[in-house]
Amino acid sequence: MLVVALCALGVFSPLLAWRWPAGLALHTWRFPLLVWVALALQVVALEVAMPKVLAASLHVLTYAVAFGFLWLNRRVPGVWIVAAGATTNGVVIALNGGTLPASASAVKAAGLDGELAFANSGVLENPVLPWLGDAFAWPAPLPLANTFSVGDILIVVGVFVAAWAGSRRIGTPRPTPDAATDTKTDTKTQTATDSQADVTMDTKTDAKTDN
């Protein structure tokens, strides 16, 4: 929940500067259903009783689905940063059998239960790439106390970049296709007029020289 809350804060943070995340709100996202599929798989993996191997496989699959969505929308500013964070988490989870390795000290600081049958993050005996796991803690008794990873940090930073990169001042009218067309037409007309004026001036100069 900590990462989700910080991402939500990132999306709405431009409002603090009297701006709004127009780039995110107005962008036509490709295959947005993939986001809901990834979230649904995450809920099933964490909340539904099933063999640990199956839960771990679903957990890895959520990151694959999420990366697919990010790849399809890779031209949006900040998405590559989010993708880097998601990929980092996904690779480490896959290498550790479906669980993101967590630091014992971080888990203790956050006041988490380390005895869960399956969790998306947990203390492992021989973790692979533990420094890329949940090595940090937002400690209890702070709200939303939890552990987080380098990948989580990248995801949050990417969301902030995406929100601010396309933000606009509140009250700024949205450009319309007709206005854009008119602007292009006026620009072309002005360019043609300037070119004609240059030709006329050159002709007059040549005439004076001949005289």
Same domain, 47 and 143: yes
Same domain, 17 and 54: yes
Same domain, 40 and 119: yes
For 149-164, letters b (16+ CB in 10 Å) and e give: bbbbbbbbbbbbbbbb
Contacts of 144 (CB under 8 A, 6+ apart): 1, 2, 5, 138
Same domain, 115 and 63: yes
Same domain, 120 and 189: no
Same domain, 26 and 60: yes
- Look at residue 30 in the predicted model and tell me its pLDDT: 94
Number of Cβ atoms within 10 Å of the Cβ of 61? 17
Distance CA 170, CA 181 (A): 24
Same domain, 210 and 150: no
The low-confidence residues of the chain, meaning pLDDT below 70, are: 114-119, 174-211
Same domain, 50 and 127: yes
- Look at residue 180 in the predicted model and tell me its pLDDT: 44
Predicted TM-score of the model (pTM)? 0.77
Same domain, 210 and 114: no
Range of the domain at 181: 177-211
Of 137, 153, 169, the residue that ends a domain is 169
